[in-house]
């Protein structure tokens, strides 16, 4: 997906046939960065440079067309989805325009940051846990020969599978990356009972298992992270000093901010009533 920022307007290209258009004053600012998003594992890009960029010659005409058709093909949303959207919008509106709400939110954020500093095992997000794992993986790659040996052995085993599969159909190796990967997966399904492929898969699985057993901290699942946080939370719940400061103060402030949000935004309150009505028998 490509996202264009044009003054106070945003155009998101979902695919070749679908666009999303939005307009808001908060979008109108100078950006000194280019963001890249990946759809699978965490990635890092080194020495990335934009050497030149220019405006499309038909930008004004295309943007006018997008504005004219905007809203004609709305995406259907459930009452709960609409409530979630209105809640985000209300938060943004009140945070910009209401000093009292902004004060409450900043207090909650400050307490959250303090809790995260004091009790990182409980209050860190999954993303932060994953980032720590990525840092560890980079360090091992730079400093641990044993890790590199096991990692490259697993890579070679994966590559052997791809080469075996591509050899079954000439021309696959010359396809563009996006098509080649898709065709390789299709061929794997067709060859799933092939003895040669099964032997290579067994070697890959053994190499992967060896790597995971040697470095288990690198292969923690989201479920394991969640369970780890729950365990640590249960331990902290038994600590009277934690209960006396962390939970009541932060919980009370967050609740106050939430009440203020619903009480001072009519669109959000209406969305909440629609959810309540949908839940009635």
Beta strands in 17-124 (DSSP E): 19-23
* 3-state helix, strand and coil shares in percent for the chain, rounded to the nearest 5: 70, 5, 25
Q: Are 172 and 184 in contact (CB under 8 A)?
A: yes
Burial of 194 (0-12, 13-18, 19+ CB in 10 A): middle
- Non-local (6+) Cβ contacts of 201 within 8 A are 161
First-residue to last-residue Cα distance in the chain? 41
For residue 246, give Cα distances in angstroms to 69, 230, 242: 50, 16, 6
Q: Is residue 137 part of a domain?
A: no
Residue 246 is predicted with a pLDDT of 59
In a domain, 63, yes or no: yes
Predicted pLDDT at 31: 79
User: What is the domain extent for residue 28?
Assistant: 1-75
In a domain, residue 231? The reply is no
Domain final residue pick, 26, 45, 75: 75
Number of domains into which the chain is organized: 2
- Distance, CA of 226 to CA of 2 (rounded, Å): 32
For 248-277, how does the pLDDT look when each residue is reduced to its tens digit (9 = 90+)? 556 666 788 888 888 998 989 998 898 888
Q: How far apart are CA 239 and CA 3, in angstroms?
A: 47
Query: What are the pLDDT digits (tens) for 154-191?
Result: 999 999 999 999 999 888 888 887 788 888 999 999 99
Domain boundary among the residues 171, 186, 220 is at: 220
Determine, yes or no, domain membership for 151: yes
Report yes or no on whether pTM surpasses 0.75: no
From 50, 75, 100, give the residue that closes a domain: 75
List, for residues 113-144, the tens digit of each pLDDT value: 888 888 888 888 888 899 999 999 999 999 99
In a domain, 273, yes or no: no
Q: pLDDT at position 196, please?
A: 94
In terms of phi and psi (left: phi > 0; alpha: psi -120 to 50; beta: otherwise), the region of 78 is beta
268 inside domain? no
Question: Chain-wide mean pLDDT for the chain?
Answer: 86
Residue 3 has pLDDT above 90, yes or no: no
Residue 20 located in a structural domain: yes
Instruction: Report whether 24 contacts 8 (CB < 8 A).
Output: yes
Contact 161, 200 (CB under 8 A): yes
Q: Residue 245: pLDDT above 70? A: no
């Amino acid at each position: 997906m490509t996202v264009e920022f044009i003054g106070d307007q945003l155009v998101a290209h979902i695919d070749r046939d679908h666009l999303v258009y939005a307009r808001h004053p908060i979008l109108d600012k100078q950006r000194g960065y280019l963001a890249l998003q990946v759809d699978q594992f965490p990635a890092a890009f080194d020495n990335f440079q934009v050497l030149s960029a220019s405006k499309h010659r038909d930008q004004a005409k295309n943007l006018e067309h997008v504005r004219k058709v905007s809203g004609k093909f709305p995406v259907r949303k459930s009452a709960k989805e609409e409530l979630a959207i209105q809640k985000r919008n209300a938060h943004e509106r009140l945070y910009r325009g209401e000093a009292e709400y902004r004060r409450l939110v900043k207090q909650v954020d400050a307490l959250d940051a303090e809790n995260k500093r004091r009790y990182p095992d409980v209050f860190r997000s999954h993303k932060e846990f994953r980032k720590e794992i990525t840092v560890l993986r980079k360090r091992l790659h730079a400093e641990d020969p044993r890790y590199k040996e096991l990692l490259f052995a697993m890579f070679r085993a994966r590559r052997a599978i791809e080469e075996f599969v591509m050899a079954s159909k000439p021309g696959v190796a010359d396809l563009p990356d996006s098509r080649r990967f898709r065709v390789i997966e299709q061929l794997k399904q067709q060859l799933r009972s092939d003895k040669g492929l099964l032997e290579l898969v067994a070697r890959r699985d053994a190499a992967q298992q060896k790597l995971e057993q040697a470095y288990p901290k690198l292969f923690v699942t989201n479920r394991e992270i969640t369970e780890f946080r729950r365990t640590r939370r249960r331990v902290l719940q038994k600590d009277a000093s934690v209960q006396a400061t962390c939970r009541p103060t932060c919980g009370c402030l967050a609740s106050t901010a939430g009440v203020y949000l619903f009480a001072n935004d009519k669109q959000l309150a209406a969305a909440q009533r629609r959810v309540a009505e949908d839940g009635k028998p």
